[in-house]
Structure 1
Amino acid sequence: MNKDSGTSFGGIYRYYVLIMLMLTFMFNIADRLVMSILIEDIKAEFLLSDTQIGLLAGTAFTVFYLLLGIPAGRLADRTNRKNMVAISLSLWSLMSALCGAALGFWTLLLARLGVGVGEAGGGPPSVSIITDYFAPHELSRAMGIFAVGAVLGPVLGYAAGGLIAEAYGWRWTFVILGVPGILLGVILYLTVREPNRGRYFQQAAQKAEADKAADTQEPFMTTMRSLWTNNIFVRVVLANSFTNIPSFAFAIWLAPTLMRNFDVSSGEVGVYLGAVLFIGGVPAMILGGFLADFLAKKNPKWRPWYCALAVMMTAPFWTFCLLADSLEMTLALYICGYILLVSTQGAAISMVQSSVLPTERGTASSISSLSINLLGYGIGPALIGVMSDNWADDYGSMSLNYAVISLAVVSLAMATFLFWWTGKAVNAEPAADPVPA
């Protein structure tokens, strides 16, 4: 690990690091979700069913992500994290570009598997780095800014992807969106510096122990037992996983739903969704993190309570948006629910990171990502595809709408309960002042 990274890495530079990691997250999401805007073109060329599309859009990406997620998190807890992010970003961007050379279902499936291999190594080290650049009392807002990448990614994938696809076709769309990620990986490698692990630790009484353990990783089973018995970690991971099931379902299936229901082109849908996500998502991510930090000053339980309220309020907006009879109403209702849902992500990520030891953060992040991707990508899209195919004879083009609604309502109800349950495990006393390294 790089030892020359001390407490001097503060001020403006840490925000440069944060922006670089946010852009990495943006390409992470864009490379996953560009498939959404291309679904109808790929489906027509390769004569695929919704079930096969669900496998390509979600399950294919998830297979190796699940296999490599925890090893990647363990590696992030013991190696140079910024190098790991740079290499992973370049790898998944290359594999995304190679999707454009697919000859059919199976070759496209293999390329999507490669995207999952690369992305498994991006998230855990990124959030671990941020946790060592920002003190606990400002971590929710930092994670909120980082999570803006989850908004800009779909904007890039939808708007740019839709316009590029109309101009050059779906194959060149993968290539044109993949190459910039490779270049960003090189810039990140050359300009981002590795911070010392455990620079901040919430509990002063454990600071000496944290310093001693900062460079010493516990055995795998010891770490897993520690995380499994950590009530806050377990509950917030489950809650955020169920929160992201409908989020990913809409991210993948909303574009083809609009094309089928309202007879609009991929370019039009891309621009509409890109504008909606940017206008609503960016301020929601940032302000949600600030609001969670503000409420938590009075009572830390407000972090999970805020998430529970926002998730619960999302459900009616997202249910009725897929039942609306106009494109304008669909987009208006969708953005209301989207603002509420994404505003929870800064608080959710910060709760995961602040509830574990410094040497557990990469592993904790990988487990969180593993759970989110297993439910949100691995199971959700394919399940929706199966339901849509099975209900097509009865409901026609609305079968996809009903499939998304069914999964969203159940998932949001579970997420609301789990965030409330997380609050039961949080100490009611305000958090202690941060202990500087």
Structure 2
Amino acid sequence: MASTPAPTTEDGKPGAHRWYVLSLLTLTSAFSVADRLVFGILVEDIKAAFQLSDFQLGLLGGAAFSLVYVLAGFPAARLADRSTRKNIVAAAISFWSLMTAACGMATGFWTLFMARTGVGVGEGCSGPSSQSLVADFFARHELAKAMGFLTLGSTIGTATGLIVGGQLAEWFDWRWAFILMGLPGLLIGAVLYLTVREPPRGRYAPKGTDMAQLPLGRTIMSLVTNRVFMGLALGWAVQIMIGYALAFWMAAVMLRQFPISTGDVGLYLGFTFLLGGIPGPILGGYVTHWLTLRDERWRAWLPGVVSLGCVVPLALSLTSSGFTAFLVWFGLAYAIYVASQAGILSGIQASVEPASRGFAVAIALFFNNLVGQALGLAVIGAVSDALTPTQGPSALAVAVFGVCLVSGLASMAIFAWTAAQMGPSGYLEKMREG
């Protein structure tokens, strides 16, 4: 299907439509994360309803979603590199929204597991096309700022899942929380399909860039031999174990440590995610933009520094006996953590050729979800189960901190190595000059 070029100004640059598209894709990202992580605020209710262990909850939150997410992402990314990307995103959000609603009809562990796999299939088809679209609406020097705004979707989505999901669970029950959370995505899918105009592919690519899609084998080889791309992808996969730990397990930590209702946890924790998560990615995007104008290696250096830096306030949060101190330190930890995302996402797009961008995102999300979500959440659940006999209600908090500390140290080392592979002007330029 032929795409309609996005509106441009007289100098050939995209006009206001690109900001509309970025806003809509950010909203899509928000509901992707909300539908994925609303499970976190409902976890104690689901545990009681089906008599599940923390390890089983970790599987439902991670593996059930992630395994199919990464498998669906590859064909969707391949299609994104040659087809109309806005149609892929519109179809994806419509499908995962229906499957989110289906979670509310589960009768036990396995039916809930299957519904969660459906959510994973839909969301796996969205990310590559969304990021590829942004890269064709914003020039390279603007890309870090644009990706910083796109990252706001994860913050807004996490807060929405907690606040709205928690209130719906109190007003109705956990089943209706899933059903009602799934409905808005159907409207967003229709708006995407009807109003977004597809931009020219590779609009900002250097002159002479081959825009033809390479055969699958050559595409994979070009990416896995790209040291900067692989370093960013693997560093992100390890680092995002922190993000999933915070988004999925913190509500349960609060419910076990403080005498508070599910609705209040969702409200307080959700607003804390907003207070920390909105300035974090915006500031991170602008700081990354400012730093990379001087040296492209900051796309890797900055994520490495903040990955470890966020662990200190997280430790203060998890060891706080006061409710307010818990939230304040947590908000600071989350703000520091999300400041890294603009550098990672813009670095991935800037380190690969335009015809491979969608597939590059799919590979990055493959590692991201298998390591960061499936493995990370299951390990935290297993460690919590093992420590419960001796640590009691504090076992989950100890497990969360331990995994986040290891993740911060490992990701800092990976990002430092990645920066060493880059030149001051970027990896692609370094390779072309060589």
Common fold, TM-score beyond 0.5? Answer: yes
Aligned to 1:376: 372
Residue 43 (structure 2) aligned to one of 20, 39, 42:
39
2:31 and 2:406 mapped to 1: Cα distance? 29
Aligned to 1:222: 218
2:419 and 2:38 mapped to 1: Cα distance? 36
Aligned to 2:361: 365
Paired residues of 1:296 and 1:430 also in contact (CA < 8 A): no
Aligned to 2:432: none
Aligned to 1:105: 109
CA 1:11 to 1:326, structure 2 compared with 1: closer, same or farther past 3 Å?
same
Moved more, 251-260 or 412-421: 412-421
2:362 and 2:374 mapped to 1: Cα distance? 15
CA 1:85 to 1:430, structure 2 compared with 1: closer, same or farther past 3 Å?
closer
Residue 93 (structure 1) aligned to one of 97, 107, 115:
97
Residue 423 (structure 1) aligned to one of 419, 426, 433:
419
> Offset of 1:389 from its aligned partner?
1.0
Aligned to 1:275: 271
Aligned to 1:134: 138
2:108 and 2:42 mapped to 1: Cα distance? 14
Q: TM-score, normalization: structure 1?
A: 0.95
Question: 1:21-76 CA distances to partner (integer Å, 9 max, x unpaired)?
Answer: 00010011001100000001111111111111111111100121122222221111
Paired residues of 1:319 and 1:409 also in contact (CA < 8 A): no
Matches within 5 A, 1:88-237: 88-201=92-205, 204=206, 207-208=207-208, 210=209, 213-214=210-211, 216-237=212-233
1:302 and 1:386 mapped to 2: Cα distance? 36
1:385 and 1:101 mapped to 2: Cα distance? 24
> Offset of 1:296 from its aligned partner?
1.1
1:6 and 1:60 mapped to 2: Cα distance? 37
Aligned to 2:287: 291
Matches within 5 A, 1:47-58: 47-58=51-62
> Offset of 1:399 from its aligned partner?
1.0
> Offset of 1:334 from its aligned partner?
1.1
Paired residues of 2:351 and 2:426 also in contact (CA < 8 A): no
1:4 and 1:251 mapped to 2: Cα distance? 38
CA 1:102 to 1:429, structure 2 compared with 1: closer, same or farther past 3 Å?
closer
> Offset of 1:318 from its aligned partner?
1.4
Aligned residue for 1:194, secondary structure, equals: coil
Paired residues of 2:351 and 2:427 also in contact (CA < 8 A): no
Aligned to 1:63: 67
Letter in 2 for 1:161: G
CA 1:295 to 1:388, structure 2 compared with 1: closer, same or farther past 3 Å?
same
Question: 1:373-403 CA distances to partner (integer Å, 9 max, x unpaired)?
Answer: 1112111111111111111111111111111
Aligned residue for 2:143, secondary structure, equals: helix
> Offset of 1:303 from its aligned partner?
2.3
Moved more, 119-128 or 237-246: 237-246
Aligned to 1:83: 87
Aligned residue for 1:148, secondary structure, equals: helix
1:237 and 1:328 mapped to 2: Cα distance? 36
Aligned to 1:400: 396
Aligned to 1:248: 244
Letter in 2 for 1:31: D
Query: Are 2:19 and 1:23 equivalent residues in the alignment?
Result: no
> Offset of 1:431 from its aligned partner?
9.8
**Gaps spanning 5+ residues in structure 1: where?**
none
> Offset of 1:429 from its aligned partner?
3.8
Paired residues of 1:240 and 1:372 also in contact (CA < 8 A): yes
Aligned to 1:309: 305
Aligned residue for 2:395, secondary structure, equals: helix
Paired residues of 1:2 and 1:194 also in contact (CA < 8 A): no
> Offset of 1:2 from its aligned partner?
2.9
Runs of 4+ in 1 over 6 A off after TM superposition: 430-433
Paired residues of 2:55 and 2:382 also in contact (CA < 8 A): yes
Letter in 2 for 1:243: Q
Paired residues of 1:284 and 1:343 also in contact (CA < 8 A): yes
Question: 1:177-220 CA distances to partner (integer Å, 9 max, x unpaired)?
Answer: 1000111001110000111111012xx4xx21x2xx32x21111
2:138 and 2:296 mapped to 1: Cα distance? 18
Superposition CA RMSD, Å? 1.5
1:302 and 1:384 mapped to 2: Cα distance? 31
Aligned residue for 1:427, secondary structure, equals: coil
CA 1:357 to 1:166, structure 2 compared with 1: closer, same or farther past 3 Å?
same
Aligned residue for 2:83, secondary structure, equals: coil
Aligned to 2:4: 4
Paired residues of 2:57 and 2:381 also in contact (CA < 8 A): yes
1:11 and 1:230 mapped to 2: Cα distance? 33
> Offset of 1:142 from its aligned partner?
0.3
1:103 and 1:430 mapped to 2: Cα distance? 52
Residue 356 (structure 1) aligned to one of 352, 359, 368:
352
Letter in 2 for 1:151: T
Taking only the aligned residue pairs, the percentage that are identical comes to: 42
Paired residues of 2:136 and 2:201 also in contact (CA < 8 A): yes
1:6 and 1:277 mapped to 2: Cα distance? 34
Query: Are 2:322 and 1:318 equivalent residues in the alignment?
Result: no
2:185 and 2:70 mapped to 1: Cα distance? 22
> Offset of 1:6 from its aligned partner?
5.3
Letter in 1 for 2:326: T
Aligned residue for 1:172, secondary structure, equals: helix
- Count of aligned residue pairs for this structure pair: 425
Query: Are 2:340 and 1:344 equivalent residues in the alignment?
Result: yes
